[in-house]
Structure 1
Amino acid sequence: MTKPAPTSNEPCPVARATSLIGDRWSLLIVRDAFDGVRRFSDFQRSLGVAKNILSDRLRKLVDAGILACQASREGSAYQEYVLTEAGNDLFPLVLALRQWGERQLFSPGEAHSELIETASGKPVAAMLPRRQDGSVLMPHDTRVRKLP
């Protein structure tokens, strides 16, 4: 699969990525796709988003190579949206947003949805960036090498 043409000429990977998936609806569509949502009507029901907005975001995600359309698994006339390899590569991003939200946006003991490992039934461990040697990498331990 070839990479889609960038939507901006920004030399910053964060800027390019947010131009594709940096809005609320696109990220929530990807989140729902990880949760197994595949049909337009199921995305709409889950998100409560207007049909025109959902249609626009799904089209952009397909055009960007994050989702792909395929025939329904049941053989009906409906099409389904499935995550591509590029879409699956967004899992750490969605997980990082989830874990940040759990830490920063909920009071201690406040109920919220929980991501668990299927095999163990236990919550997913906190995700932390690591150095090459496996130790935790902190923001002050990094710098961006800008283009000349």
Structure 2
Amino acid sequence: MLGRTYDTQVCSIARSLEMVGERWSLLIIRDALFARVTRFGDFQHNLGIATNVLTSRLEAFVTAGIMQRDGAADYVLTPKGRALAVSLIALTEWGDEWASPIDPPILYRHSVCDSAIHATATCDACGSVPADEVAIRIGPGMPAEYLAARRGGTRAHS
């Protein structure tokens, strides 16, 4: 079972959850991205979140470089924060298909031409690919000691 932090996980998903995985985090970022909310009071009003929780989340976003302070009460997304847009669109699409009993309440559209926006897995050579065709490989950031421990553990069970 995972604890309150993901220190033992060698995984970018776990590292991302360290920054944005708390209950209110993605909703705050959603409002900042798509509703252009910047003011503390507007976040609090729109979400109905307790002020102490909101303060904690916003301070954590500033520390992580996801938001920056702009004046006394404004919180503005940085490029790092705005880069979460595709993740939120993907979560929305998943929720529309698997967690919602009704038609989608929000549609993402391209502001220039009004066409639908989707989050997709994309292959550099083939374009869009289904999830069951996505494979993983060890990347250059995988710590050698982690691989050595995994190989050692595998041999012991063989």
TM-score, normalised via structure 2 length:
0.75
Question: What residue is the counterpart of 1:82 in the other structure?
Answer: 76
Contact 1:8–1:19 (CA<8 Å) still a contact in 2? no
Would the alpha carbon gap of residues 15 and 144 (structure 1) be closer, same or farther in structure 2, given more than 3 Å must change? farther
Number of residue equivalences = 134
Question: What residue is the counterpart of 1:44 in the other structure?
Answer: 44
TM-score, normalised via structure 1 length:
0.80
Query: Residue type matched to 2:19 in 1?
Result: L
Question: What residue is the counterpart of 1:121 in the other structure?
Answer: 114
Would the alpha carbon gap of residues 139 and 63 (structure 1) be closer, same or farther in structure 2, given more than 3 Å must change? farther
- Asked which structure has the greater RCO (Cα within 8 Å, sep 6+), the reply is 1
Q: Report the alpha carbon displacement of residue 142 of structure 1 after superposing the two structures with TM.
A: 0.6
Does 2:122 match 1:130? yes
Q: Report the alpha carbon displacement of residue 137 of structure 1 after superposing the two structures with TM.
A: 4.7
- Work out which of the residue numbers 93, 100, 112 in structure 2 matches 1:99: 93
Contact 1:67–1:82 (CA<8 Å) still a contact in 2? yes
Q: Please, which runs of 5 or more residues in structure 1 have no aligned partner? A: 1-6, 72-77
Q: Please, which runs of 5 or more residues in structure 2 have no aligned partner? A: 1-5, 148-158
Secondary structure of 2:111's partner? coil
Identity between Structure 1 and Structure 2 (%): 32
Aligned positions of 1:27-38 closer than 5 A: 27-34=26-33, 35-38=35-38
Secondary structure of 2:74's partner? strand
Secondary structure of 1:24's partner? coil
Q: Which runs of 4+ in 1 moved over 3 A?
A: 7-10
Would the alpha carbon gap of residues 8 and 85 (structure 1) be closer, same or farther in structure 2, given more than 3 Å must change? farther
Secondary structure of 1:97's partner? helix
